[in-house]
């Protein structure tokens, strides 16, 4: 009786690199995740939304203050932080809308 011939699996270098990259990304993702209870998850999401609300309220307050200054300081220059290149492009796009 003849025995079956061994099968040879050839994996090229590109497939090896891809597999290593996928394994690295999966490890990286699992390092950023943790298990928690449903209650903890809900509390965390509520906290994130609360923090976003605070940031929004702060921005709205700054806009209100700037509007009040515009009404009282017509024509006077006001110092402000210069926008980064990416933020400047976003601002230009936003002002065109």
Q: What is the pTM of this model?
A: 0.43
pLDDT digits (tens, 9 = 90+) for 71-84: 776 777 778 888 88
pLDDT surpassing 60 at residue 10: no
Output the CA torsion 63→65→66→69 (10° steps). 160
- Residue 40: the pLDDT is 92
Q: Read out DSSP for 51-72?
A: HHHHHHHHHHHHHHHHHHHHHH
pLDDT the model gives residue 47: 94
DSSP the chain: -PPPPPP-----HHHHHHHHHHHHHHHHHHHH-----HHHHHHHHHHHHHHHHHHHHHHHHHHHHHHHHHHHSTT-----PPPPHHHHHHHHHHHH-
Would you state the pLDDT for residue 5? 53
Reply yes or no on whether the pLDDT at 43 is more than 90. yes
Mean pLDDT value of segment 9-21? 75
Q: For position 55, what pLDDT does the model report?
A: 94
């Amino acid at each position: 009786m003849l025995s079956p011939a061994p099968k040879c699996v050839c994996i090229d270098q590109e497939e090896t690199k891809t597999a290593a990259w996928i394994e690295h990304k999966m490890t990286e993702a699992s390092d950023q995740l943790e298990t928690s209870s449903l209650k903890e998850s809900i509390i965390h999401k509520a906290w994130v939304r609360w923090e976003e609300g605070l940031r929004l309220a702060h921005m709205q307050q700054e806009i209100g203050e700037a509007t009040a200054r515009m009404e009282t300081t017509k024509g006077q220059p006001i110092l402000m932080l210069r926008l980064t290149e990416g933020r400047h492009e976003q601002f230009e796009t936003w002002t065109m809308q």
